Amino acid sequence: MALSESEFYEAGMSLPPGVRRDVALRLLESLDPEDCATAAETWLETEVVAAYDALEADPTRAIPADAARAHFTRRWAARS
């Protein structure tokens, strides 16, 4: 039985964090390095540029580095 992309994602997200990390790393290692570079470049050209442009247009949206770091630390701790 083949899983759809969303079914595969949901199944993966139900795994414990350590297993999910190992599976993610194995999947990344299975990709052609050029495909990874293309995906990273696409991400930079779309999402990162859009986020930068939005921040430049409205600097009040900026979050202090300490607050961002604390946010991600809490999110990481909640995953364990």
Q: What is the pLDDT of residues 32-71, one digit of tens each?
A: 888 888 988 999 999 999 999 999 999 999 999 999 999 9
The radius of gyration computed from the CA coordinates of the chain, to the nearest angstrom, equals 17
Residue 31 has pLDDT above 90, yes or no: no
Residue 80 has pLDDT above 80, yes or no: no
Please state the rounded mean pLDDT for residues 11-22.
92
Q: Which domain holds residue 41?
A: 17-79
Is residue 8 included in any domain, yes or no?
A: no
Element (H, E) at 23: helix 17-29
Query: How many domains would you assign to the chain?
Result: 1
Is residue 54 included in any domain, yes or no?
A: yes
Write out the two tokens for 53: 């442009």
Please state the rounded mean pLDDT for residues 3-17.
92
Is residue 5 included in any domain, yes or no?
A: no
DSSP 77: H
Is residue 55 included in any domain, yes or no?
A: yes
Q: Using an 8 Å Cβ cutoff, are 20 and 9 in contact?
A: no
Confidence of residue 16 (pLDDT cuts 50, 70, 90): very high
